[in-house]
Amino acid sequence: MFAQLNVPTKRIVIGVLSLAVLLAAWMLVAAFTRNNASTEQERVAQKAGADAAKSENPFQAENPLSGVEANPFEKTKKVLNPFE
């Protein structure tokens, strides 16, 4: 069938087939690149999360009540009532 076509028609058929192959290759490369980019973004996000978990909390503040006893009246009670 292909041998029976005249020369301009053969060129058109070859051109259309070539464009179809190029389009398919382009779509395949685009899909691979998009998938690879999302995988890279996930990897970077996981690394950033791990680094943030390991690092010291930049918003950490010292506890202003760290030196205060839990029950300050316990010491007073012992001083006032030594027999207990």
Enumerate the domain spans of the chain: 1-55
Q: Look at the block and give the residue holding tokens 């398919």.
A: 24
According to DSSP, residue 59 is labeled T
Q: What is the pTM of this model?
A: 0.41
* Cα Rg, the chain, nearest whole Å: 38
At residue 3, the pLDDT reads 64
At 76, list the tokens.
Answer: 């007073």
Residue 15 has pLDDT above 80, yes or no: yes
Please, which pLDDT band fits residue 16 given cuts at 50, 70 and 90? Answer: very high
